[in-house]
Amino acid sequence: MKRALLSVLTLVSLIPFCLSLWSSLGELQVQSELQLYQTNLLLLAAPEESDSGWRGSLLGETPYLSARQQYQSALDSLETYQGKIQGRLQTLPAAEEAQPLTKVLRQNQANLDQLILNLGLLEVQQSAVANALERWRGLLTQDNLDPSLAQTARSLIGLWEDPPRTAPETEAILERNLKGWFQNQALQRFYNLRGETEKLQVLTEKEQSQARQALIKLALLGGLPVIGGIIGTLLLLGLLVQWFLKREDSLLTQPHREPWRTPWDGEIIWQVLILGFLFLGQVLLPLVISLLPLNLTQLGLQGKALYVFASYLLLAGAGLGVLFFSLKPYFPLPPDWFRLKLTFPALGWGLGGYCAALPLVVLVSLVNETLWGGQGGSNPLLSLALEARDWGALALFWLTAAVLAPIFEETLFRGFLLPSLTRYLPLPAAVALSSLGFAVAHLNLSEILPLAMLGVILGTVYSRSRNLLASMLTHGLWNSGTLLSLFLLGS
């Protein structure tokens, strides 16, 4: 009866799980959006004059040309994505089923139109005025163009057509509908045409202040990972040299202690993964939330942050509860199971694992981007954190990603799954299989390779330290670094 019930729950859980994985295939990666945010920072920093060599290393030799290419690439990707959504809409028989896709289509079209406006401003900066005017005029031929975007397009056409024309309301339109460097460029043209030297001077001072702030953010975004990546690369080289010289006695191959003694069989592994993770996350929790009088679309950012925190807390609490009651018949467990002890070796393994993850995961991510071409889905928490502007929402996102996630995921995938698999597999195979499960559990096809690499590092840290605190520290530092980057870009 127990196996029959588990089989039914497995089937019920795998259906939405596989559908979520499949649907991520047609979704855009947040990484594409992050690259545009970083491009916008580069543009803001470009006017800052400095003789220091680090400025050139941050901005590159041709920041405006690079920005134009980045925006053109984003435009092409979004146009391809729009075409796929329109194709999917045509296959849906009922209007009710098409409503969510129609909403996505409208939002993406607004993003696409904004990209066209911005790309045109990059083109006029490089004297490709004819191209920019053609883009902006093309926008005005669209049906159902957002009125604010239409106003902006007409204002930009007036500023750069021959002869140029301005209107008193142009300034307000540009300030309302453009941001950052793009707003500065348009206003600079407007003030020059109208001969408003005082406003032009104020704008110049504002650009210089923005450039200094942008340079600091770029230094933090690039400097901290580079420093950590250099340390990680040196650590990896040192481990490889030690392995070459000592082989079986090296840190990479030496198991350090006796292998785990696993008193349960594969049925308990099956039970914990299905009941404590898949069924809870894919069926039970969504069902409970759907019964609540809660309209997620009407929540503000703080409300969404609280919802993410509360729903993950429920998942983690229930999942750990299932794990506890599943293993209770085997208590007391051997002493090396689920060890959580604050020691200097644990801290060293945790910090070292984070540094080692930086070059390895970044390298895999670069290869991964070429495979997916900007699609394949991403964690929705990244988009929400990118929008966060208040400390309350940021604190909730950090608690979710850097505290709750490491506790739950490390306990489940490293503390339980990895050692349990060693009953049937060699340790390297157990690390690899548990890492693959960890990656697939995030429900985004495009993130499987980078997350699997991160999982291998986490599994190595745990299997060598035999201390969950070490892998939790690595996991928490990784997610904290990601959130810091999102905060710097979004702000």
DSSP 230-274: HHHHHHHHHHHHHHHHHGGGSTTT---SPPP---S-HHHHHHHHI
The answer to the question of residue 441 being in a domain is: yes
Q: Would you state the pLDDT for residue 30?
A: 65
Token pair 């694992």 is found at 353
> DSSP of 415-433, one letter per residue?
IIIHHHHTTTS-HHHHHHH
**What's the start-to-end Cα distance of the chain, in Å?**
55
- Encoding tokens for residue 21? 């994985």
Output the pLDDT for position 51.
Answer: 47
Which stretch of 105-119, 261-275, 345-359 has the lowest confidence by average pLDDT?
A: 105-119
In a domain, 13, yes or no: no
425, part of any domain: yes
124's CB contacts (< 8 A; 6+ apart) are: 132, 160, 185
| In a domain? residue 18 | no
The answer on pLDDT for 419 being more than 60 is yes
Same structural domain, 462 and 336: yes
Note the pLDDT tens digit of each residue in 325-340. Answer: 999 999 898 888 999 9
Residues 150 and 125 in one domain: yes
The residue among 52 and 379 whose pLDDT is bigger is: 379
Given 201, 217, 233, which residue is the final one in a domain? 217
Q: In the listed set 217, 244, 260, which residue is the last one of a domain according to the structure?
A: 217
Q: Which residue has the higher pLDDT, 61 or 168?
A: 168
Tens of pLDDT, residues 128-155: 889 889 989 988 888 778 888 888 999 9
Counting DSSP H helices and E strands in the chain, the numbers are: 22, 0
In this structure, are 326 and 422 located in the same domain? yes
Give the span between the Cα atoms of 149 and 147, in whole angstroms.
5
How high is the mean pLDDT of the chain?
Answer: 83
Residue 192 counted as domain residue? yes
Q: Is the pLDDT of residue 238 over 70?
A: yes
pLDDT of residue 458: 95
Coil, helix or strand for 146? coil
Q: Read off the pLDDT of residues 254-306 as tens digits, 9 standing for 90 and up.
A: 655 567 888 898 899 999 999 889 998 888 888 888 887 777 667 777 888 88
Task: Find the range with the poorest average confidence among 121-130, 214-223, 314-323.
Answer: 214-223
Query: What is the residue range of 335's domain?
Result: 224-490
At residue 3, the pLDDT reads: 86
Q: Is 330 found in the same domain as 465?
A: yes
Cα–Cα distances (Å) from 446 to 35, 38, 76, 160, 371, in that order, read 16, 21, 19, 41, 9
Q: What is the pTM of this model?
A: 0.82
Strand partners, 28: 375
Same domain, 339 and 360: yes
Q: Give 14-63 pLDDT, tens digit per residue.
A: 888 888 877 777 666 666 677 788 888 888 887 654 445 555 555 666 77
Q: Is the pLDDT of residue 357 over 70?
A: yes
Tally of domains within the chain = 2
As given in the structure block, the two tokens for residue 216 are 């600091």
Assigned domain for 367 exists: yes
Give dist(CA 411, CA 417) in Å, integer. Answer: 9
Read off the DSSP letter of residue 446.
Answer: G
Return the pLDDT at 210.
85
Residues 177 and 261 in one domain: no
* Residue 6 is assigned to a structural domain of this protein: no
Residue 250 has pLDDT above 60, yes or no: yes
- The per-residue pLDDT for 397 is 87
Q: Of 53-57, 84-88, 229-233, which range is least confident? A: 53-57
Residue 31: its pLDDT value, please?
Answer: 67
Work out the number of other CB atoms within 10 angstroms of the CB of residue 283: 16
Residue 297: is it exposed, middle or buried by C-beta count within 10 angstroms (0-12/13-18/19+)? exposed
- Residues 120 and 162 grouped into a single domain: yes
What's the average model confidence in pLDDT over 408-413?
A: 94
Q: Based on the fold, state whether residues 302 and 256 are members of the same structural domain.
A: yes
**Pair (45, 110) in one structural domain:** yes
Helix (H, G, I), strand (E, B) or coil at 28: strand
One-letter amino acid identity for 253? T
CB–CB of 276/323 below 8 Å?
yes
Going by C-alpha positions, the residue among 9, 17, 13, 69 that lies closest to residue 39 is: 69
Please tell me whether residues 198 and 288 are part of one structural domain.
no
Average pLDDT over residues 439-468: 90
Same structural domain, 134 and 260: no
Q: Is the same domain home to 205 and 247?
A: no
Distance of CA 9 to the CA centre of its chain: 31
Lowest pLDDT segment from 51-55, 91-95, 247-251: 51-55
Domain boundary among 217, 247, 278: 217
Residue where the block lists tokens 């945790």: 350
In a domain, 116, yes or no: yes
Question: Which of 21, 138, 128 has the alpha carbon at shortest distance from 79?
Answer: 138
